[in-house]
């Protein structure tokens, strides 16, 4: 059997044709495809606005800047995430404060966040960045209530979760990134994510003010909106110090094609998850699925003793399992600046046991059965 990665893109002929068509068009960047992708993505998640960017890290960076984060400010996030969720805070010169995870969902624990907020004077923190880790949506309604009580903004890191949702107290479905409870949502289009653009990202919001700021900052801080009658089309103004974080048109064309398949892909990911759960129920711990939530399943994670031995065993048999993630506060950069003493026992315990199994829509039943057999064999050794 060929090697089985933990995740992979699925590029089909229609995806290729969409990219080739755009490559043959008049615009490779700053053209109509990027705007079309933004419109279709906003419609997909149910947000009012979307801003396409060259990757999700750029999206997180622009988000904190649009929310006026600055040196000396403080933001709470989870240590169980890719480093970019925390790094964006540091890019603005602000301080990262980590709260612990729920040991069963692996999501940022709202009680840990509440305890941290209430341990400091009012106004100590500026915002919260919860992560829809592995594709499991955070209950943003609960976080919004907590944030409102302390005058905090929320950025939803939804990079793992396009197509995931939770049902709020009114019985309404809230797709990740729809902006009903978070100020801003951020998505990733890295190849191992649901929607592959090579690289790329999207920022969503329901705030026209934030949308305008995000667009300005994405494109060098330059605008043409103040052109006077006696000035030509060449005229522009740089009103802020921005960045070149644009997404190309040919990447956007691929994103549009991939977006149209996401619901089908998420359905298949949940079929794969159900098979894993049936095989491991009562034998191996896996991520909980709280009621009224739909997991988009970027990852399927189990916890197991002797994790390194299982990792080596799987790799020796061609199953390229992965670890998600080393807790951010234990990375050398964060330890160096003083985070190594953080009391985050659930996160550190999780890290000693977690391993991500193959999870992607084109994973075959035969391949998944092989993965399951190997894990159960290891468990019985």
pTM, two decimal places: 0.97
Topology at the third CATH level for domain 4-259:
3.40.640
Q: Can you list the residues of the chain whose pLDDT is less than 50? A: none
Q: What pLDDT is recorded for position 381?
A: 82
C-alpha span between 164 and 158 (Å, rounded): 9
Q: Is 255 exposed, middle or buried (0-12, 13-18, 19+ CB in 10 A)?
A: buried
Q: Quick one: tokens of 18?
A: 């969409």
Determine the pLDDT at residue 229. 67
Q: What is the pLDDT of residue 259?
A: 98
* Residue 225 CB neighbours (<10 A): 9
d(CA 195, CA 209): 27
- pLDDT tens, position by position, 318-339: 999 999 999 999 999 999 999 9
So what's the pLDDT on residue 122?
95
Spatial distance between the Cα atoms of 254 and 256, rounded to a whole number of angstroms: 5
pLDDT at 285: 98
> What's the topology of domain 262-380?
3.90.1150
Kindly list the domain boundaries of the chain, sorted by start residue.
Answer: 4-259, 262-380
């Amino acid at each position: 059997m060929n090697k089985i990665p933990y995740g992979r893109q699925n590029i089909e002929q229609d995806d290729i044709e969409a990219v080739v068509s755009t490559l043959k068009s008049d615009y490779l960047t700053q053209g109509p495809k990027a705007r079309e992708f933004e419109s279709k993505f906003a419609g997909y998640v149910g947000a009012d606005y979307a801003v396409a960017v060259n990757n999700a890290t750029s999206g997180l960076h622009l988000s904190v800047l649009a929310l006026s984060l600055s040196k000396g400010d403080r933001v709470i996030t989870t240590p169980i995430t890719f480093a970019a969720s925390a790094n964006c805070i540091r890019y603005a010169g602000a301080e990262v404060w980590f709260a612990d995870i729920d040991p069963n969902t692996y999501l940022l624990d709202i009680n840990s966040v509440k305890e941290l907020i209430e341990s400091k004077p009012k106004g100590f923190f500026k915002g919260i960045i919860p992560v829809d880790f592995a594709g499991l949506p955070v209950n943003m309604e609960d976080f919004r209530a907590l944030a409102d009580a302390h005058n905090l903004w929320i950025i939803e890191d939804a990079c793992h979760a396009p197509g995931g949702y939770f049902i709020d107290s009114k019985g309404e479905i809230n797709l990740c990134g729809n902006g009903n409870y978070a100020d801003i949502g951020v998505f990733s289009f890295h190849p191992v994510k649901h929607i592959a653009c090579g690289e790329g990202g999207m920022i969503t919001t329901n705030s026209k003010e934030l949308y305008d700021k995000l667009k300005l900052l994405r494109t060098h801080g330059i605008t043409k909106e103040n052109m006077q009658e006696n000035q030509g089309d060449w005229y522009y103004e740089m009103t802020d110090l921005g960045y070149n974080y644009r997404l190309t048109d040919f990447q956007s064309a691929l994103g549009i094609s991939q977006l149209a398949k996401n619901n089908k892909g998420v359905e298949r990911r949940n079929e794969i998850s159900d098979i894993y759960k049936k095989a491991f129920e009562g034998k191996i711990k896996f991520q909980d699925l709280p009621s009224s939530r739909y997991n988009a399943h970027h990852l399927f994670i189990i916890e197991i003793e002797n994790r390194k031995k299982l990792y080596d065993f799987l790799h020796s048999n061609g199953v390229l399992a992965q670890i998600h993630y080393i807790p951010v506060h234990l990375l050398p950069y964060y330890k160096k600046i003083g985070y190594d003493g953080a009391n985050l026992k659930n996160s550190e315990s999780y890290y000693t046991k977690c391993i991500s199994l193959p999870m992607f829509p084109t994973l075959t039943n035969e391949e998944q059965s092989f993965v399951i057999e190997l894990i159960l064999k290891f468990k019985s050794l």
